[in-house]
Every structure is written in C-alpha cells, then in structure tokens.
Amino acid sequence: MAKTVFTAGQAARALGVSLDTLRRWDRQGRIRVERDSANRRVVDVAEIERLRGAESHGLSARNRLTGVVESVRVDGLLAEVKIAVTEPASITAIVTADAVADLGLERGMPASAVVKSTSIMVER
C-alpha cells in the first residue's frame, strides 16, 4: 500500500528543504499540514507533489515556482498577481484581467509562477 502521509522530517527531505524551513512554511501558510494524534506535523503526499510541481500542464518551461497568491490587483485590461513562492521569494506577474477571471485567482490560493525567458505565466 502506498504511503499517504509523511512525517515533517520525511516531507522536508522529499522537498529538499530543512525541517526548520518546513515548519516556517507551515506557520506562514505556504504548506498544508495536519497534526497526528501526538500533535506532530504530518504532510499529505498530494501536498508534497503539489510543492514539487509534479503536475505537468503541458508547458515546456523549465522554471516553475509554486506558492500562494498574495494579492490580485485588477486595473482595466491588466491584472497584477503577486505569488509568495515556497522558495522564500515573491514573484509578481502582470497578466490580463481575463486570465485572472479564467483562473479564478484569489488571495490565499495555491498557484505557480512559470518563468520562461522574460515572461511569467500564472497557472493553477
């Protein structure tokens, strides 16, 4: 039977980060964790896959930064989407307002910044 949850240490190793980083991400809301009966952090395998970018969306881009939408500001035809990526950094993308509506982007939801050349695309 495949493992469905990882301990915090196992999750940190799977993500290539320190346990302290994983704990910080938990406090910042950048990773979804649960608590077991002993109140220890456990991470669902789907959450690890989300953060590792395991889902492929058919893009050829090599640089994919996954995180949480910090803000969405629509001004006319364009929208500014700010994503707090899980690699302690923040990416700001200027996209069309239609793209924001199509993706249903809102503050606090998971999203990825796909970097290719000088452009940043947003996917969900």
Residue-wise pLDDT tens digits, 38-78: 999 999 988 888 887 654 455 555 667 777 788 999 999 99
In this prediction, residues 79-101 reach a mean pLDDT of 84
pLDDT of residue 82 exceeding 60? yes
Buried b / exposed e over 60-74, threshold 16 CB at 10 Å, is ebeebbbbbbbebeb
Fold of domain 5-52 = Multidrug-efflux Transporter Regulator; Chain: A; Domain 2 (1.10.1660)
Q: At CA 40, angle to CA 49 and CA 46, rounded to 5?
A: 15
Q: How confident is the model at residue 97 (pLDDT cuts 50, 70, 90)?
A: very high
Q: Please indicate whether residue 83 or residue 87 has the higher confidence score (pLDDT).
A: 83
Element (H, E) at 99: helix 97-103
Cβ atoms within 10 A of the Cβ of 111, count?
Answer: 24
pLDDT over 90 percentage in the chain: 25
pLDDT of residue 120 exceeding 70? yes
Per-residue confidence (pLDDT) for residue 43, from 0 to 100? 92
In whole angstroms, what is the distance from residue 84 CA to residue 71 CA? 9
In this prediction, residues 72-87 reach a mean pLDDT of 87
Whole-prediction pTM value?
Answer: 0.43
Out of 3.20.20.150, 3.40.50.300, 2.40.10.120, 2.40.50.100, select the CATH number for domain 63-123: 2.40.50.100
DSSP letter at 87 equals T
